[in-house]
Amino acid sequence: MSTLRTPDGGSTPPSAPGGSGERVIESLGESECMRLLGAERVGRLAYNGWEGPTVLPMVYKLHEGSILFHPLQGTFTEQDLRTGIAHADYVVAFEIDQIDPDARGGWAVLVVGSAHHVDTEAERASIIGAGADPWPWPEAETAHLMRIRPTRITGRRSYLATTQVDS
């Protein structure tokens, strides 16, 4: 159903749909993780909300090393990610992946960081002015904007290694 997409190439593991080799799990370097974050558009935001553990898909954009997104009104309230303490941000996780269950492989990148509310007009203008609005839709002009500043970025690629058969 899903297909393994590899933006700009480089992440395609030597997977084998019919293979029966050993599973290989490789760590991705931070630069490779950032490249994948820059190439994708949809990720998942995870946090502990007032209703418990919560995961929500987000259309995002990478901007100056931060993950930018507009929380969709109605899917969670701003309050869910407000600590109530000035300059204290909520720690959240943000994840992107491409998994192919048939090819037995894929990759995932996990970002952990503070979820910062872009509350001032100056900060918002600096982002929008830089053309970094992650959601260039009419409604996004007034929508709340959030920014995750990564404190930890990890990635993994998993595939089944196969024995090369000479022809």
Binding site for its own copies (CB under 8 A): 1-2, 5, 7, 20, 23, 25, 40-42, 44, 46-48, 51-57, 59, 72-75, 91-95, 97, 99, 101, 104, 106, 108, 110, 112, 135, 137-139, 152, 156, 158, 160
Contact 154, 29 (CB under 8 A): no
User: How many other β-carbons are positioned within 10 Å of the β-carbon of residue 142?
Assistant: 8
Rounded CA gap, 111 and 3, in Å? 23
Task: Report in angstroms how near the CB of residue 29 gets to its own copies at its nearest.
Answer: 17
- Give the three-state DSSP class for 81: helix
- CB closer to its own copies out of 2 and 83: 2
Contact 3, 100 (CB under 8 A): yes
Beta bridge partners of 68: 61, 147
Rounded CA gap, 76 and 69, in Å? 13
- CB closer to its own copies out of 51 and 121: 51
Task: Report in angstroms how near the CB of residue 57 gets to its own copies at its nearest.
Answer: 4
- CB closer to its own copies out of 117 and 156: 156
Task: Report in angstroms how near the CB of residue 97 gets to its own copies at its nearest.
Answer: 4
Task: Report in angstroms how near the CB of residue 122 gets to its own copies at its nearest.
Answer: 27
